[in-house]
A and B are shown apart, each in its own frame.
Chain A
Amino acid sequence: MLKLLKYALYDILKSRFAMIYTVFMILVAVSIYQVSDDLSKVSLSLMNIMIMIVPLISAVFATTHFYNNLEFIELMLAQPVKRSHVFLSQLLAVILMLSLSILIGFGLPMLLWGADSSLVTLLGVGVILSAVFAGFAFLASVLTRDKAKAIGISLGLWIYFSLVYDGFVLYLIYSFADYPLEKVTLGLVMLNPVDLGRILMLMQLDISALMGYTGAFFQQFFNSSMGILVAGGTLFIWVLWPNLLAMRVFKKRDF
């Protein structure tokens, strides 16, 4: 497995896309560092960009990568290796590449000009969201036999989780404003990985406002490590299930 991963990584890290993505991230981070006069403003701006861009790029790139490598994947399947290893080597290579681009693109300027805990959280959230959306993309890829369709599904998931879902939650909150909705909204947020990543950032940037939430449960949730643990744990589940499901389908798929 590790050997396969080594070669897959070698290929993907030298790809033009990896370079462009990393350079793009560096440019974004550098320009934001240049115009912002303090660190939390930097992490705010970076977060706005990251929450949008990272899932999009991850979803599109992972789908494209899967289909571009389909013949090679087929050739590997004809070799004496386990299917799951072939799948994992491709998936992990994509996730590692996407993560490295974020870590280098955002991390390098941080090393140069300083970072605070919110920026470090941002890096973590970026890596996790990459893994989640790469998982979705691989799932869409193994479930379809057509690149265009798979990209369509990936984009659909991105729009759903970045925009539509929050609109739905806001609508719900607005419609049932007279009811105590705190627990419901918190529960709904757990069902969206992008929101979870955002909440982890909010706990760093807007903790004062979050503490305005009524009820002891939320005070405890946001003010202690429990919130971070629960949100982080749920995000971990979000990383696992699409990826594992994609692997299950991959193991039974015809090529």
Chain B
Amino acid sequence: MISVKNISKKFGKLQVLKDFNLEFQLGNSYALMGPNGSGKTTIIKTILGMVMPDSGEILVKGQPIKGSHSYRQDIGYMPQIGRYPSNMKIGQLFSMMKDMRPEIKNYDLDLVEAFELDQMKDKAMGTLSGGTRQKVSAALAFLFSPDILILDEPTAGLDPIAVEILKAKIKKERIAGKLILITSHIMSDLEELTNQAVYIFEGEVYFNDTIESLKEITGEDRFSPAIAKLMQWTLKKKATKREMSHVETT
């Protein structure tokens, strides 16, 4: 469904992605993990076309995304922090998003109803709390029933009730066979919502397999310690690398 092929990206002198390869399949839910600055956000933005790779290509549904914008019709994106024009009303934001996809006539209003956004249609975005803005972002991501959902820290800032509603919705879509990509720092959420773990470290895929095999490899039977172990390994690897380079130079 999404093929990331040999992507390299430098920001200035900093090599963020190096010959990066990944495949995301329909029907799977991926937990995208890695320490800060590992390239998670960059890979999401590259898939969304917000960051232009220096080399390599990305295929969505078999079509290269370069120079195309219509493929984004199949992607629902929920940003980490949704900030909107402060004088725009919720209702206007929704109609604008709808105007951008004139071909889609059937809307998935599950979250709109669950979050009771309908009653707040005339509220300006600037007056909303951070949590409500997240609800709006979430509702927008699911509004057009896209095949691909990219959720960046979806539960951050939401109240417990909303978190449960959103999680239930994500699960429902996963069962419906969507491709879901989630980044989060909350391990329990990831364990609950995903079946595939992708661990990125310094611009390279360090681990990419099912959660079961992750647990097997690390010898942990719970998700969170398994990830912690993975992180420790990567740090060790980094240390050896450093040592080796030290040896090399002397």
Interaction A to B: yes
Instruction: Pick the 6 closest A-B CB pairs, nearest first.
Output: A71-B83, A11-B85, A14-B87, A80-B73, A78-B77, A80-B72
Q: Does B176 contact A (CB under 8 A)?
A: no
The residues of B that contact A82 with a CB separation of less than 8 Å are 69
Considering the chains assembled together, what is the distance between the CA atoms of A82 and B70 in angstroms? 9
Question: A83's closest neighbor in chain B, by CB?
Answer: B69
Contact with A along B119-131 (1 / 0, CB 8 A): 0000000000000
Which of A1-9, A116-124, A150-158 is the interface stretch? A1-9
**Known contacts A75-B77, A80-B101, A255-B50: does B69 contact A7 (CB below 8 Å)?**
no
Beta-carbon contact of A71 and B81 below 8 Å:
yes
> Can you list 10 A-B contacts with CB-CB less than 8 angstroms, sorted by A residue number?
A71-B82, A71-B83, A75-B82, A76-B100, A78-B75, A78-B79, A80-B70, A81-B69, A254-B50, A254-B52
Q: Does B177 contact A (CB under 8 A)?
A: no
Beta-carbon contact of B69 and A3 below 8 Å:
no
Beta-carbon contact of A78 and B86 below 8 Å:
no
How many contacts A-B (CB < 8 Å)?
A: 75
Q: Does B51 contact A (CB under 8 A)?
A: yes
Beta-carbon contact of B100 and A72 below 8 Å:
no
**Known contacts A3-B99, A77-B48, A79-B100: does B69 contact A15 (CB below 8 Å)?**
no
Beta-carbon contact of B96 and A7 below 8 Å:
yes
Question: B47's closest neighbor in chain A, by CB?
Answer: A78
Beta-carbon contact of B81 and A78 below 8 Å:
no
Q: How far apart are A10's CB and chain B's nearest CB, in angstroms?
A: 7
Interface residues on B, range: 20 to 34
Contact with A along B62-75 (1 / 0, CB 8 A): 00000001111101
Considering the chains assembled together, what is the distance between the CA atoms of A78 and B97 in angstroms? 11
* Chain A interface residue count, Cβ-Cβ cutoff 8 angstroms: 25
The residues of B that contact A36 with a CB separation of less than 8 Å are none
| Residues of B74-95 whose CB lies within 8 A of A | 75, 77, 79, 81-88, 92-93
Beta-carbon contact of B77 and A11 below 8 Å:
no
Q: Does A146 contact B (CB under 8 A)?
A: no
Q: Does B61 contact A (CB under 8 A)?
A: no
The residues of A that contact B88 with a CB separation of less than 8 Å are 7, 10-11
Considering the chains assembled together, what is the distance between the CA atoms of A7 and B51 in angstroms? 25
The residues of B that contact A74 with a CB separation of less than 8 Å are 50, 79
Beta-carbon contact of B51 and A79 below 8 Å:
no
Beta-carbon contact of A71 and B70 below 8 Å:
no
Q: How far apart are B14's CB and chain A's nearest CB, in angstroms?
A: 12
Q: Does A219 contact B (CB under 8 A)?
A: no
Beta-carbon contact of B96 and A78 below 8 Å:
no
Question: A70's closest neighbor in chain B, by CB?
Answer: B83
Among B50, B70, B99, point to the contact of A77 (Cβ < 8 A).
B50
Q: How far apart are A23's CB and chain B's nearest CB, in angstroms?
A: 17
Beta-carbon contact of B52 and A79 below 8 Å:
no
The residues of A that contact B97 with a CB separation of less than 8 Å are 79
Question: A2's closest neighbor in chain B, by CB?
Answer: B99
Q: How far apart are B90's CB and chain A's nearest CB, in angstroms?
A: 12
Q: Does B241 contact A (CB under 8 A)?
A: no
Beta-carbon contact of B85 and A72 below 8 Å:
yes
The residues of A that contact B93 with a CB separation of less than 8 Å are 7
Question: B103's closest neighbor in chain A, by CB?
Answer: A80
The residues of B that contact A77 with a CB separation of less than 8 Å are 48-50
| Residues of A72-95 whose CB lies within 8 A of B | 72, 74-83
Considering the chains assembled together, what is the distance between the CA atoms of A96 and B184 in angstroms? 41
Beta-carbon contact of A255 and B45 below 8 Å:
yes
Among A8, A72, A255, point to the contact of B51 (Cβ < 8 A).
A255
The residues of A that contact B83 with a CB separation of less than 8 Å are 71-72
The residues of A that contact B86 with a CB separation of less than 8 Å are 11, 15
